[in-house]
Amino acid sequence: MTTGRADLTTSTDPVSLLSRALDQAGALVAGTRADQADLPTPCHSWDVAELVTHLVHGLRQFTVRASGASPDWTAPRADVEGDPAEAFRAGADGLVAAWRAAGDLDGTVELPGMGEVPARFPVDQQIAELAVHAWDLAVATGQSTDLDPEVAQTALAWARGTLQPGFRGSEEEGKAFGPEVTVPEDAPVYDRLAAFFGRRVG
């Protein structure tokens, strides 16, 4: 099982891996039918349409971060206008371009409230967000969960090194992550990732 911050080492350029995470999430958005909008998702507060809106909105916020500014996470999510797949693709292209323009991701950076972290930390955070929500969308819409394993392994390593117990709890408590769900150590990596983020698997 992938564990710990040290396991974030990878031969893959982090922005290239982010691009792969974006590609698979975008393919799932494109594969979502209009008549599935009201279906529930493993994110209990969101149906499929709300999850897709969250993904598109997140790309805008992530691009602000990649450009060196601090996004306003309290800003309301705007409805997606037009084709969600096209909106996602445009946002994904802008995010990758912003990270490419940011330059070298070796070394460390200072993040508010976190201190010194690896320079690639925000990219790995975005990979994790996209990987988990790709699984959420695939499960909710009946699409394949046979997704890019390196994306999930990187996401799980980042999460195990970052997600503290204090972040977990019920939605009523305002917590973003539920308690970790136990799954076999040899479960598929996306099932392990989803379970670590508090999703019920199977």
What pLDDT, in 10s, does the model give residues 47-85? 999 999 999 999 999 999 999 888 888 888 888 889 999
- Amino acid 30: pLDDT: 98
What pTM, to 2 d.p., does this model score?
0.88
With 60 as the cut, is the pLDDT of residue 8 above it? no
Q: How far apart are CA 76 and CA 86, in angstroms?
A: 21
Please check whether residue 47 is in contact with residue 40, taking contact to mean a CB–CB distance below 8 angstroms. Answer: yes
Angle between helices 121-141 and 48-66 (to 10 degrees): 170
Query: Locate tokens 């396991």: which residue?
Result: 7
- Amino acid 3: pLDDT: 31
The candidate with the shortest Cα–Cα distance to 99, out of 18, 155, 10, is: 18
What is the per-residue pLDDT across 129-181, written as a single tens digit (0 to 9) for each? 999 999 999 999 999 999 999 999 999 999 998 877 777 776 666 666 778 88
With 80 as the cut, is the pLDDT of residue 112 above it? no
The torsion defined by the Cα of 75, 77, 82 and 87, in degrees rounded to 10, comes to: 80
Confidence of residue 45 (pLDDT cuts 50, 70, 90): confident
Lowest mean pLDDT among 26-40, 96-110, 144-158: 96-110
Reduced to 3 states (helix: H, G, I; strand: E, B; else coil), residue 32 is coil
Whole-number percent of the chain with pLDDT over 70: 91
Query: Locate tokens 């460390």: which residue?
Result: 108
- Amino acid 171: pLDDT: 65
With 90 as the cut, is the pLDDT of residue 11 above it? no
Question: What are the structural domain ranges in the chain?
Answer: 10-196
Q: How far apart are CA 12 and CA 163, in angstroms?
A: 23
Q: How far apart are CA 18 and CA 97, in angstroms?
A: 11
Q: How far apart are CA 67 and CA 78, in angstroms?
A: 21
Q: What is the DSSP letter of 184?
A: -
Identity of the residue numbered 7: D
Alpha-carbon torsion 135, 31, 26, 48, what sign? negative
- Amino acid 174: pLDDT: 62
Whole-number percent of the chain with pLDDT over 90: 63
Please check whether residue 105 is in contact with residue 14, taking contact to mean a CB–CB distance below 8 angstroms. Answer: yes
What's domain 10-196's superfamily in CATH?
dinb family like domain (1.20.120.450)
User: Which DSSP string corresponds to 72-129?
Assistant: -TTSPPPPPPS-HHHHHHHHHHHHHHHHHHH----SEEEETTTEEEETTHHHHHHHHH
HSE at residue 65, side-chain half, CA atoms within 13 A, is 22
Reduced to 3 states (helix: H, G, I; strand: E, B; else coil), residue 168 is strand
